[in-house]
Amino acid sequence: MNFPNLSCKIEIFCTINPSESKEKLETTISNIFPYSKITSNEFSINAVSKELRSFEKIYQFIHNNKLQKNFLRSLEDNLKNDSTWFYLNKQAAFVEQIAICEEFDESPLGPIKVSLTSSNIDRIIDWIVFD
């Protein structure tokens, strides 16, 4: 896989519900977003990466399942200045599956929010969806 040489900040966030294991959620996020630095407290998990290769599993899933239009719509709808974001279904991510959520409440335990920020955000969106 060829990653463009573009500066990007990937931020991942999710809340921890009382019925959820913080450790399992941390593992879930590290499985979907390798190369990210995870921090957490008793209520939420945050992860950050500055490496586009952290997006490899998402990229492969989008292209293997021909979901480019779904992700493009979400990325463009949430585009503002030099950043965009989308939601992932937390339960699907737990079993290492990728499922985009259009709305916050589509994921019963709350989604995982993924934000991308870059001065080249249009090029990064093009890479995610079209390359």
Decide if 73 is inside a domain.
yes
Q: What is the pLDDT of residue 105?
A: 81
> Domain limits at 33?
9-130
The enclosing domain of 82 has a CATH number of 3.30.1440.10
Q: What is the pLDDT of residue 102?
A: 83
Split into its structural domains, the chain has a count of: 1
Q: Which residues of the chain have pLDDT under 70?
A: 1
Q: What is the pLDDT of residue 37?
A: 96
Q: What is the pLDDT of residue 106?
A: 80
Determine the Cα–Cα distance for residues 92 and 69; give it in Å rounded to an integer.
20
Q: What is the pLDDT of residue 111?
A: 95
Decide if 70 is inside a domain.
yes
Stated pTM of the model = 0.92
Residues 6+ apart with CB under 8 A from 14: 25, 29, 44, 45, 90, 110, 111, 112, 113
Decide if 2 is inside a domain.
no
